[in-house]
Structure 1
């Protein structure tokens, strides 16, 4: 069964993870968020129940 041979696939997986960890991830983490989360407490919207005419 050739699917169980980890020879080519392990190298590809390892290379992609190392690329992500050392090159792409630091670039992504260096961006500043344009919309930072606020420290304001979340408010729940007030809802009114629907009055069904047939009940």
Structure 2
């Protein structure tokens, strides 16, 4: 079974991970988000009960 032979694919996998972790990942992590989340305090909404006309 050729799928169990790691010889041709192991080096490809290692090179791919090295390229991703050394070149692509720092570029992606250096981007600033365009809309950062705000630290607003959570204010609960005030609800009023519905007055049903038939009760």
Instruction: Tell me the TM-score normalised to structure 2 length.
Output: 0.69
Structure 1 runs (4+) greater than 4 angstroms displaced: 41-46
Name the structure 2 match of 1:5.
5
* Contiguous gaps of at least 5 residues in structure 2: 48-55
For these two proteins, the number of residue pairs brought into alignment is 46
* Contiguous gaps of at least 5 residues in structure 1: 47-55
Higher Cα radius of gyration: 2
Partner Cα separation in structure 2 for residue 6 and residue 32 of structure 1: 39
